[in-house]
Amino acid sequence: MAIFGAKQVLWRSFTTVASHPLRVCIVGSGPAGFYTAEKILKRHQGSQVDIIDRLPIPYGLVRSGVAPDHPETKNVINQFSRVAQSGRCSFLGNIALGSSISLVELRELYHVVVLAYGAESDRVLGIPGEDLKGIHSAREFVWWYNGHPDGRNLDPDLKSTDTAVILGQGNVALDVARILLRRTSELAATDIASHALTALEQSSIRKVYLVGRRGPVQAACTAKELREVLGIKDLYIHIKEADLKITPADEEEMKSSRIHKRIYELLSKAATAGPSQPSSGQRELHFVFFRQPDRFLESYDKKGYVSGVHLEKTALKGVGSGKQIAIGTGQFEDLSCGIALKSIGYKSVPVDGLPFDNQKGVVPNVKGRVLSDNSGDPTSIENGLYVCGWLKRGPTGIIGTNLYCAEETVASVSEDVEQGVLGPATNSPKPGREGLLQILEDRKVRVVPFSGWERIDKEEKRLGSSRNKPREKMTTWEELLKAASE
Amino acid sequence: MIKTNRGCSSNGRALALHARGTGFDPPHLHGSVLRHQIMLISRLSRAGFFIAKELSRGGYTFLSRTRFRQGSCGQCQHSPLELLPETRAFQWAIFQKRHDFSTSASNNASEGGDGQKETISVTFVSKDGEEIPIQVPVGMSMLEAAHQNDIELEGACEASLACSTCHVIVMDMEYYNKLEDPSDEENDMLDLAFGLTETSRLGCQIIARPELDGIRLAIPAATRNFAVDGYVPKPH
């Protein structure tokens, strides 16, 4: 009803407009969302693009994913903010797809809807003991130290143990290890959330294990992050020499992948570079290869809490095309720890009315065009609905990956607009932003515009400057919403 | 002299279109003795160039501060010399070639602000294959030059070596060999570049120098197909 009402109100204003602007809504304001916006604005001069986000703040994982000690990676925010400030683009925060507004409604309001809301959940191991206290997903931990308003209450216990196990060896795992092991005096000068800094200052964790199912040739991290963690001051690095032995299949893998070869070389070098024993009180980082978690162990004296991981040794098996997977060998060993962080991948969450491939955790699509079902039939396309970023291709890649991803999706949008595939819809006006704001006003949803974020930004920077930090992040919804309106 | 950090075989890195009869392996690793000697000579001549550059640093400071065109970046400074006619720049380039380098640089320094500005010719080849010739002041990075000339080259991390979005492909091996070897940090980022080739570099790390006059740089197109290459469950 609300839509029709809004439409009626707006109809008159549109009759005076000579041509109808292409109304585009992008859901999610991370790199995928902003790159999509930038490219649509460039290719469609008459378009009007709205980027909506669940949070009152933009930039997605650039703010809540990129580690606080990687400020240079966040420079891309400057480019994104220029997009948001351009006349034909609006950032509208604090709008949750699915509760503030439904997907069906958005598609009514806009000619084109691009979903770029990423992956806000986690893959699970599906092994016994996964619900024990002291086990967190790396995503939650990252949100916590990056001051995501939904991560603030994680409160990981870093004080009752000296050992943390991280399952996974990708970049997120390395980020988490680095944050746990790096000197807090160095972290204090970053935009790390203050609650996290305090907890890390009081942390008793000295030993971190990075556990991977496969070997050093298959590690999923990138060289920059590995070099960084290996270069932490006064850190003892342990890599078993036996794990560094390579097979002809490994050599084949390295030949076809420059990054894997360089990662292996870095690890080999690190294995022999340092002393063979840690000095007393020295922090330790152990790379554990060829182990997969079988179950989590519960503490005897602290019921309901994790006390270790039961690991199965693995061996590699070729599965064709030079790929090798880990196979359990039936041999087990225990690794004690007081906290376990699962860094085994993010997972996207579907919304009502959106076709979703639960197995792959992505929206079925062809070049960004959303397909009506998972049958793989490329002809059953959801008109005017597109995806980009992790929701489209799964939770892998770096910020720059979204550049190419957005290019592909926007090429599909343009093709459809130019060929009139979107049907009569593109020839008729759509309410767009005004219609959306009308509905949200009726529902008493408080929209935070880009100027609201600019107020938050200014205040965070002000708070940070007094503490020698680039910014002091506001980490609760209340704080953020209050600062946005002040 | 020869760095070892990239002394690795690059089998599989190059695109088919980059195979130029030397096979997949970089010539400096697996080439003949003759190749090695040629490489060494070119490296030595580069060293000579650097000495010249150091000697004429004063001139460079001046040059790098005056920009060819006003761009959108914040650090840009206005210059009354912005509208240097292309023909003049071209003549200047020829002038450079004919003269001993250090002489021309010192000439430049002594001439001060009379409008002479040392630039080199660079051709960008866009994603669509369009050739865009521009003049780049010596000392300026190719990323900056691209931006000042409205050439679509991304620079997500703003030249802080934290991304690979300004990836360019040096189109001639001869020019690629004139560049300094990439640092570990640049190589770390190149690892992640799309469509990496034998002669890939980051645009922010290629700084205009007289001997690069005539360099051609291709901006790689998004050749990767996400529909096929998309989601791969990542075992750890």
Q: Is the pLDDT of residue B107 over 80?
A: no
**Distances A132 to A136, A279, A337 between C-alpha atoms, Å:** 9, 33, 13
> Would you call A222 and B13 a contact, using CB atoms and an 8 Å cutoff?
no
Q: Indicate if the pLDDT at residue B120 is higher than 80.
A: yes
486 residues of chain A, pLDDT tens digit each: 444 444 444 443 343 334 679 999 999 999 999 999 999 999 999 899 999 999 999 999 999 999 999 999 999 999 999 999 999 999 999 999 999 999 999 999 999 999 999 999 999 999 999 999 999 999 999 999 999 999 999 999 999 999 999 999 999 999 999 999 999 999 999 999 999 999 999 999 999 999 999 999 999 999 999 999 999 999 999 999 999 999 999 999 999 999 999 999 999 999 998 888 999 889 999 999 999 999 999 999 999 999 999 999 999 999 988 899 999 999 999 999 999 999 999 999 999 999 999 998 999 999 999 999 888 788 899 999 999 999 999 999 999 999 999 999 999 999 999 988 876 656 688 999 999 999 999 999 999 999 999 999 999 999 999 999 999 999 999 999 999 998
Residue B185 in contact with partner chain A when CB distance is under 8 A: yes
Of B189, B227, B236, the CB nearest to A168: B236
**Window A:295-324, CB contacts with B under 8 Å:** none
Q: What pLDDT shows up at residue A426?
A: 62
Distance from CA of A364 to the nearest CA of B (A): 9
Q: Are A154 and A122 in contact (CB under 8 A)?
A: no
- CA distance, residue A261 to nearest chain B CA (Å): 9
In whole angstroms, give the CA distance from residue B217 to residue B201.
10
- Per the model's pLDDT, the better-predicted residue between B132 and B234 turns out to be B132
Per residue in B155-188, pLDDT (tens digit) is: 999 999 999 999 999 999 999 999 999 999 999 9
Within an 8 Å CB–CB cutoff, is residue B180 touching chain A?
A: no
Question: How many H helices and E strands in chain B?
Answer: 9, 5
* pLDDT over threshold 50, residue B23: no
- Chain B residue numbers touching A73 (CB-CB < 8 A): 157, 162-163
Ordered alpha helix ranges (H), chain B: 27-30, 33-55, 57-65, 86-98, 101-111, 142-148, 173-178, 184-190, 226-229
- Chain B residue with CA closest to A376: the answer is B227
pLDDT at residue number A424: 60
Find the closest chain B residue to A405 by CA distance: B226
Pick the residue from chain B with its C-alpha nearest to A212.
B236
Q: Is A407 on the interface with B (CB under 8 A)?
A: yes
Q: Which residue has the tokens 């519960």?
A: A298
Mean pLDDT over residues B197-211, rounded? 96
Instruction: Compute the C-alpha angle A413/A403/B226, nearest 5°.
Output: 70
User: Chain B partners of A167 at a C-beta cutoff of 8 Å?
Assistant: 236
More confident residue, A136 or B114: A136
Chain A residue with the nearest C-alpha to that of B191: A259
**Which residues are within 8 A (CB) of B122 and not within 5 positions of it... i.e. 6 or more apart?**
B133, B134, B135, B136, B142, B145, B208, B212, B215, B216, B217
Is the predicted pLDDT of residue B65 greater than 70, yes or no?
no
Quote the tokens at residue A10. Answer: 């707006």
A127 CB near a chain B CB, below 8 Å? no
pLDDT at A425: 55
Partners of A313 in the β-ladder: A291
pLDDT, residue A191, reads 97
B162 Cβ contact list (under 8 Å, min separation 6): A70, A72, A73, A75, A224, B189
pLDDT at res. B116: 57
Q: What amino acid occupies position A118?
A: G
Tell me the residues of chain A between 260 and 279 that have a Cβ less than 8 Å away from chain B.
261-262, 265
Q: What is the DSSP string of B125-151?
A: E-TT--EEEEEEETT-BHHHHHHHTT-
β-pair partners for A310: A295, A334
Contacts of A213 in chain B (CB under 8 A): 235-236
CA dist A164 and A141 (Å) reads: 13
Q: Nearest CA of chain B to the CA of A151: how many Å?
A: 25
B200 DSSP β-pair partners: B169
Cross-chain Cβ contact A258/B10 below 8 Å:
yes
The 3-state DSSP class for residue A466 equals coil
Query: Cα separation of A157 and A198, whole Å?
Result: 12
Residue B47 pLDDT level (bands cut at 50, 70, 90): very low
Mean pLDDT for the stretch of residues B87-107: 36
Helical H segments across A257-369, by residue range: 258-273
CA-based angle A225:A227:A229, to the nearest 5? Answer: 70
- Chain B: give the shortest CA distance to residue A325, in Å: 7
Contact B214, A378 (CB under 8 A): no
Angstroms from B221 CA to nearest CA on chain A: 9
Res B57: pLDDT: 36
Q: Is B222 within 8 Å of chain A by CB?
A: yes
pLDDT of residue A428: 80
CB-nearest to A75 from B9, B158, B189 is B158
